[in-house]
């Protein structure tokens, strides 16, 4: 959830660290800090060095920590040290304190944006943390599950703790085991801690060197002619390099300004490959839009087109990238879908789509539940794990559980080289490009497109649809981007309506079948960024208790695109309206009887019913966006949320 950036090279590190952390603000954070190595040859040519006074002692902290050992003295006679600067609150506080990084000299450093887990948001609890003799500085993403056990033991050994964090135990452990060999110390720590972690580490007597290691939390390495980087996500370093390596699980990395070396947990050097990130740098910027979320809503037509078009040839779906033959697909007897959040709603849509198109039964589980319920699955079950980042902790754990049980796993992910992509047996990439806003939009739409293609491919392999039906469906898939664009052209009507309800306390969504799955996503979008209590219900369940919540003036959004269920949904809308609800209808053009019931109606272009979710979700995204905007909220940085949930 937190953000990590590190740089060692031939430029001042602090400005680069601050720039990288800014690109990771979307991950959510409550404090920020940097640690820069000073002294030694690597820092001797630092430009823009200068003194800076400590400002606002309640919200910022600045410390210089030394190596504490004669062997660390540099060639110039200056003892190497690590300067740590950290601040509670937004990154701008840290920028102001350090004069945009110019007052912290040095060409090697690490930075961090923290989202509090252990200990309240404060300067003391913010990262980086250092060891008792101040020769090690650490930043950390993840959770050390046995930190209290380690903390108690270290306390008995004379180590003193100043924070409430689990991360400080790692700093002290490193200090305990460090005897001049960083790789050995890190390896010994790996054997002692349980949980998930991505660590960036500085040793004061190793100026110009950054060490990193990961277990279950994402971390990448980037290289360039001007220096080398670590980061928790690609956007942090995209301005400087596209040459990256996704660090394999349980591997240690040593970076200097010119070299990168990888080691396994046994301290043996190993070779790793780098790949090119093809994202346009501008794709990770706002590009003139007020918020990343709005920009990404408008990028959906292109993202869906990029995901669908390469997989359709002459009216047929091509799934060769999965490494599964037609015979392999035909053998699939059941599908188990696993995901979290919005990706879970994609899986709910996939259940309806796959069962209708391929007649293959589909079970859908929240990833956080799947791994603990000891699932019973048939021999030829295909497990499908859906995740935008490919690093979602619960989804990754579910994947590993499925593989341990001997099932084939297909990962549907957006980030090339991510953990799920590497560990799954087959990978289906969604080409959404970088998604920065915490509330997912274009990644959701491309995931829908991916499961449509999977359903059609399965249906053809199973003999449930013929060539003519496949051509009809693929032709309509290719028309979806244009239809999404038509919805976006009507955004003013949605904005006008949203402004009327920006001060609502409760909003409900109802739907049936595929429209229920869309309602789930619409409700989640609204609560994520507007903080309005919102729930989605299968409309048939209203009379089983839920209708007791309806009162005068409450907004109920009814989604109705399925012909066979349209009249039933209309009846449900009549029920809530008769009890005082204000009803918004979302339906396809042609269903004009909706206006006899709804107080306000939003129409989407007609499409095949199985693809309707790709269209109805767009006005629901815009509704959430404009309601939040009307409340004056920061749409891209909703409270208590982070883009990538990399801890349980």
In the three-class reduction of DSSP (H, G, I as helix; E, B as strand; rest coil), residue 284 is classed as helix
Of the listed ranges 87-91, 226-230, 529-533, the least confidently predicted one is 87-91
pLDDT of 46: 41
202-213: pLDDT as tens digits = 999 999 999 999
The mean predicted confidence, pLDDT, of the chain is: 88
What pLDDT score was predicted for residue 62?
A: 57
- pLDDT above 90 for 116: no
610 in catalytic set: no
Task: Indicate the pLDDT class of residue 26, thresholds 50, 70 and 90.
Answer: low
Q: Is the pLDDT of residue 230 over 80?
A: yes
Residue 544 burial class via C-beta count within 10 angstroms: exposed 0-12, middle 13-18, buried 19 and up = exposed
Residues facing residue 584 across a β-bridge: 557, 600
- pLDDT at 56 (0 to 100): 31
Query: Residue 645: what pLDDT?
Result: 59
pLDDT at position 54: 27
Query: Which tens digits make up the pLDDT trace of 512-533?
Result: 999 999 999 999 999 999 999 9
Q: Which of 23-32, 466-475, 481-490 has the lowest mean pLDDT?
A: 23-32
Q: Which residues are within 8 A (CB) of 574 and not within 5 positions of it... i.e. 6 or more apart?
A: 597
Answer yes or no: same fold for 284-487 and 490-633: yes
HEC per residue, 169-207: HHHHHHHHHCCCCHHHHHHHHHHHCCEEEEEEEEECCCC
Q: What percent of the chain has pLDDT over 90?
A: 70
Q: What is the mean pLDDT of residues 476-497?
A: 95
Q: Answer whether residue 349 shows pLDDT above 50.
A: yes
Question: 3-state class of 47 per DSSP?
Answer: coil
Nearest alpha carbon to residue 319 among 361, 280, 370, 358 = 358
Q: What is the mean pLDDT of residues 580-604?
A: 95
**Tally of CB atoms within 10 A around 287:** 11
Confidence of residue 434 (pLDDT cuts 50, 70, 90): confident
The predicted model gives 396-425 an average pLDDT of 92
Quote the CA–CA distance of 244 and 248 in Å, as a whole number: 12
> Topology of domain 3-277, per CATH?
3.60.20
Per residue in 617-638, pLDDT tens?
Answer: 999 999 999 999 999 998 988 8
Q: Which of 119-123, 164-168, 451-455 is most confident?
A: 451-455
Tens of pLDDT along 34-55?
999 986 444 444 443 333 322 2
What's the confidence (pLDDT) of residue 37?
93
- What does the angle CA 58 – CA 62 – CA 66 come to, to the nearest 5 degrees? 145
- pLDDT level of residue 111 (50, 70, 90 thresholds): very high
Domain positions in the chain are: 3-277, 284-487, 490-633
Q: Is the pLDDT of residue 541 over 90?
A: no
Residue 418's pLDDT band, with cuts at 50, 70 and 90, is confident
Res 282: pLDDT: 61
32 contacts 87 by C-beta, under 8 angstroms: yes
Fold adopted by 490-633: Rossmann fold (3.40.50)
Q: pLDDT band at 190, cuts 50/70/90?
A: very high
User: Predicted confidence band at 374 (pLDDT cuts at 50, 70, 90)?
Assistant: confident
Query: What pTM does this model have?
Result: 0.75
Cα 156 to chain centroid, rounded: 39
pLDDT over threshold 60, residue 20: yes
Q: Looking at residue 394, what DSSP letter applies?
A: H
* Burial zone of 580 (CB within 10 Å; 0-12 exposed, 13-18 middle, 19+ buried): exposed
Over residues 266-310, the pLDDT tens digits come to 999 999 999 888 766 666 677 778 888 999 999 999 999 999 999
* Active-site entry in 132, 176, 527, 643: 643
The residue whose two tokens read 């190793």 is 206
pLDDT tops 90 at residue 316: yes
The verdict on whether 643 is a catalytic residue reads yes
Position 373 scores a pLDDT of 84
Instruction: Give me the pLDDT at residue 39, please.
Output: 66
Weakest-pLDDT range from 81-90, 276-285, 564-573: 276-285
For the chain, the first-to-last Cα distance in angstroms comes to: 10
Of 2, 108, 245, 610, the active-site residue reads 2
* pLDDT given at position 280: 63
284-487 CATH: 3.40.50.10490
């Amino acid at each position: 959830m937190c953000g990590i950036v590190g740089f060692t090279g031939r430029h001042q590190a602090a400005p680069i660290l601050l720039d990288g952390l800014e690109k990771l603000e979307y991950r959510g954070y409550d404090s920020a800090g940097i640690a820069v190595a000073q002294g030694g040859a690597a820092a001797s040519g630092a430009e823009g060095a200068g003194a800076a006074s400590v400002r606002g002692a309640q919200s910022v902290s600045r410390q210089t920590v030394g190596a504490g050992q004669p062997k660390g003295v540099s060639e110039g006679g200056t003892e190497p040290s690590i300067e740590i600067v950290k601040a509670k609150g937004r990154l701008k506080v840290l920028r102001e304190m350090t004069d945009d990084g110019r007052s912290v000299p040095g060409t090697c450093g690490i930075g961090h944006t923290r989202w509090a887990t252990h200990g309240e948001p404060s300067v003391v609890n913010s990262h980086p943390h250092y060891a008792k003799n101040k020769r090690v500085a650490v930043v950390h993403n993840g959770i050390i599950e046995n930190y209290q056990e380690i903390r108690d033991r270290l306390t008995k050994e004379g180590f003193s703790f100043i924070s409430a964090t689990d991360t400080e135990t790692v700093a002290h452990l490193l200090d305990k085991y460090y005897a001049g060999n960083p790789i050995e110390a890190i390896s010994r720590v790996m054997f002692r801690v349980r949980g998930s972690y991505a660590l960036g580490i500085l040793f004061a007597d190793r100026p110009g060197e950054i060490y990193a290691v990961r277990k279950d939390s994402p971390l990448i390495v980037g290289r360039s002619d001007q220096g080398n980087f670590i980061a928790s996500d690609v956007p942090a370093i995209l301005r400087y390099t596209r040459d990256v390596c996704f660090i394999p699980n349980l591997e240690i990395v040593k970076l200097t300004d010119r070299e990168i070396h990888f080691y396994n947990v046994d301290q043996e050097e190993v070779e790793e490959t780098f790949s090119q990130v093809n994202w346009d740098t501008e794709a990770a910027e706002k590009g003139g839009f007020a918020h990343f979320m709005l920009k990404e809503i408008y990028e959906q037509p292109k993202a869906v087109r990029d995901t669908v078009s390469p997989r359709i040839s002459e009216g047929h779906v091509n799934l060769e990238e999965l490494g599964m033959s037609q015979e392999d697909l035909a053998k699939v007897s059941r599908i188990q879908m696993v995901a979290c959040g919005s990706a879970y709603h994609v899986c709910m849509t996939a259940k309806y789509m796959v069962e209708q198109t391929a007649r293959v039964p589909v079970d859908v589980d929240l990833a956080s539940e799947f791994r603990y319920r000891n699932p019973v699955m048939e021999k030829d079950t295909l497990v499908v794990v859906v995740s935008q980042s490919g690093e979602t902790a619960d989804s990754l754990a579910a994947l590993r559980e499925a593989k341990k049980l001997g099932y084939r796993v297909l990962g549907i992910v957006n980030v090339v080289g991510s953990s799920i992509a590497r560990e799954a047996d087959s990978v289906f990439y969604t080409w959404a490009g970088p998604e920065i806003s915490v509330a997912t939009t274009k990644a959701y739409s491309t995931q829908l497109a991916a499961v449509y293609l999977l359903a059609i491919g399965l249906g053809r392999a199973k003999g449930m649809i013929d060539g003519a039906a496949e051509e009809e469906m693929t032709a309509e898939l290719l028309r979806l981007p244009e239809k999404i664009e038509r919805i976006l052209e009507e955004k003013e009507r949605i904005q006008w309506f949203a402004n009327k309800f920006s001060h609502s306390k409760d909003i409900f969504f109802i739907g049936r079948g595929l429209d229920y799955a869309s309602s789930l996503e619409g409700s989640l979008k609204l609560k994520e960024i507007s903080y309005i209590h919102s729930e989605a219900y299968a409309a048939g369940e209203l009379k089983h208790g839920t209708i007791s919540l309806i009162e005068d003036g409450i907004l109920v959004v009814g989604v109705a695109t399925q012909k066979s269920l349209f009249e039933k949904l209309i009846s449900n809308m009549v029920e809530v309206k008769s009890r005082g609800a204000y009803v918004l209808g979302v339906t396809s053009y042609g269903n004009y009887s909706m206006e006899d019931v709804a107080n306000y109606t939003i129409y989407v272009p007609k499409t095949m019913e199985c693809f309707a979710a790709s269209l109805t979700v767009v006005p629901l995204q815009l509704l959430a966006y404009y309601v939040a905007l009307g409340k004056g909220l920061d749409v891209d940085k909703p409270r208590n949320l982070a883009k990538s949930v990399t801890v349980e």
